Chain A
Amino acid sequence: MTEANATFDIRRSGQAGLLDVHGDVTAGSEHVLMSAYDQLGDARAVVLNFNGLSYMNSGGIGLLVTLLVRAQRHSKPLMAYGLSDHYRQIFELTRLDEAIGIHDDEQAALRAAGAI
């Protein structure tokens, strides 16, 4: 019910597609996030860069679950890096960390994705 207040910039690194998250991730970000995911095309893994994340509510966490389902359907592992301690705790609390690989930096995420 909320408006989108986030952007997801797209990059490629080898066979991995990266989404640079900026702004507030809420349920209202669904269209922009899914559109960005679609633009990653044939990337074999998806890496979310949360360094630019300002704010995320429970709707945003729900959106990540939906993204995870889409990625799993396409057999693409989903990775994340750049999470602050606060959001790392939220990933642990909601047990998203059991399905989304969390890494300290981009290099580690890309290595885990098999992109470098």
Chain B
Amino acid sequence: MTEEANEQEAARDAANWAKSVSRLNVSQMPEGATGINVSGKRLASPIQGFGKMWQKTYQVRLPGDRIAPIDLVALWKQRFPDFWPAGNHFYGPLTGIAPGEVALIEGTLPGGLKLSTGVLVLYADEESFTLMTPEGHVFAGWITFSAAEQGEETVAQAQVLMRASDPIFEIGMMLGGHRQENSFWDETLRNLAAHFDVADAMVDTAVVCVDERRQWSRWTNVWHSSAIRSTLYLLSTPFRALARVFRRDRGTG
């Protein structure tokens, strides 16, 4: 294949990928989101993470006559936050999931710890879309959501490829984080199935440890930890409120 032909072929998927960015930028702050731990952060693939590398695949089967794979992915992109378990908020673009968009997340960790973070829509086409995490997220990696026809069924899938970002999150994942993540995507897929009137859908989960080794040289990722930074942000709320009062007084005085 010539170089020119290669470039023409590349255009086939060019619109599906996010444009290259060195650091994330949050252009609009949705009401209810703190927006911390996202702006100015670099993306982090599993290569940049700390913990063991895992591939987790969650699948739910729907009757093919209720929804075709392409229609399912279109709906999932459009209404992605609607299927998330209660207590977690995904502030995506109003127009739905699209390559290059940054979405903010307000979540809850085991123990009730509040966490502010976000994701970049790395890739999106008619059959799938992928969200990639920034530095400081619980894990470094991405999640791909897709749908495919298998026999007379439409199979919706969420697949995570990840390493815990830092040693603290790795310990957290071992002490219930993995279980919570499995429950999270299990519930998400059951909510998706319920939308198509499939009650009590069974979610198949397959977990593979891709790499048993931890990347100890990445322990410094803890500097970006969204858990630590979210906690500090929460603890500093009274001081920020005081600072606002002083600024207002100075403005009117």
Residue numbers of A with Cβ under 8 A of B are 1-2, 27, 51-59, 62, 65-66, 68-69, 73, 84-87, 89-90, 92-96, 98-99
Contacts and interface: CB of A to CB of B under 8 A. Distances in A.
Interface string B112-148: 0000000000110101101010000000001010111
A68 B210 CA distance: 11
A33 B42 CA distance: 29
B252 interface: no
A55 B20 contact: no
A52 B1 contact: yes
A59 B210 contact: no
B148 A93 contact: no
Contact of B45 (A2, A51, A57, A96): A96
Given A56-B13, A90-B17, A98 B148 contact: no
Which of A54, A68, A73 has the most chain B CB atoms closer than 10 A to its own CB?
Answer: A54
Closest 3 CB pairs of A and B: A58-B130, A58-B123, A1-B148
Contacts of B14: 86
Contacts of B55: 62, 66
B144 A59 contact: yes
A1 B146 contact: yes
Contacts of A84: 3, 6-7, 10
Nearest to B42: A95
A93 B17 contact: yes
Given A65-B47, A66-B55, A94-B122, 20 more contacts: A1-B146, A1-B150, A51-B1, A51-B6, A54-B1, A55-B10, A55-B13, A56-B13, A58-B123, A59-B128, A62-B55, A65-B45, A69-B210, A69-B211, A73-B211, A84-B7, A94-B132, A95-B42, A96-B45, A98-B47
A78 to B, nearest CB: 11
Contacts of B17: 86, 89-90, 93
Nearest to A100: B47
Interface string B204-234: 0000001100000000000000000000000
B156 to A, nearest CB: 10
B9 A54 contact: yes
B44 interface: yes
B45 A95 contact: yes
A86 B7 CA distance: 8
